[in-house]
Amino acid sequence: MKNFRRALWGSIAAICVVIVWLVYEIGETNKEMMHIPMGPAFALTADDGSEITETAFREGPTAIFFGFTHCPEVCPTTLYELNGWLHEVDPDGDRIDAYWITVDPEQDTPEMMRRYLSNVTDRVIGIAGDPDKVRAMADGFGVYYEKVPLDPNDPKGDYTMNHTASVFLLNDGGVLQSTIAYQEDHDTAIEKLKRLIKTDND
């Protein structure tokens, strides 16, 4: 009986050691993740026709949003709100960069995105490109998007796009700091952007 108890307590002690080691390893992994830039390497096209790569997201605080020009509500609302937040937090436009990546690259050309954005904001740069490259880039950010036919009986007809609606906030270096949800409270969104700037200055 004593041997059984010793073996039992020995097993418990071993399990505790393993648990402590796992907690430590998870903590170390999380610390490393906090310094890894978000998203993959990519080469796409900005709305002025120039090439843009992941470097643009790692040169300072950045706000990134995914959407499409024919979006009926979510995209125009978010762009309008984001434009207002940026003007409030960064009136001179030199502390936060903002980008809008299309999730409908088959239809949204860089020129089309430039025309669309010029009617909504002067603070957000559009990004488009080869559909496969856009898909790889969006996948690297963990962004969901899917083409949905407006008429299920006509899958090749008019469609809309379901997609992730959050704004990603990347700090200096491209590390994800936080997100702004669709229809986020104004004061909460402003505070997140202020923290983004403050982190860059610390």
Give the mean model confidence (pLDDT) for residues 41-45. Answer: 96
The pLDDT assigned to 201 comes to 54
Scan for tokens 């402590």, then name that residue.
Answer: 20
Higher pLDDT, 53 or 33: 53
Q: Edge to edge, what strands does the sheet with 51-53 contain? A: 51-53, 43-46, 124-128, 97-102, 62-67, 167-170, 176-180
Architecture field, domain 43-201? 3-Layer(aba) Sandwich (3.40)
Domain ranges for the chain, please list them.
1-33, 43-201
The pLDDT assigned to 11 comes to 58
Average pLDDT, the chain: 85
Among 75-89, 143-157, 177-191, the least confident range: 143-157
Query: pLDDT tens across 180-196, in order?
Result: 999 999 999 999 999 99
**Residue 12 predicted with pLDDT over 80:** no
Query: Does 163 carry a binding-site annotation?
Result: yes
The pLDDT assigned to 33 comes to 42
CA–CA gap between residue 103 and residue 96 (Å, rounded): 23
The pLDDT assigned to 158 comes to 87
Query: Does 71 carry a binding-site annotation?
Result: yes
The pLDDT assigned to 154 comes to 79
Query: Does 75 carry a binding-site annotation?
Result: yes
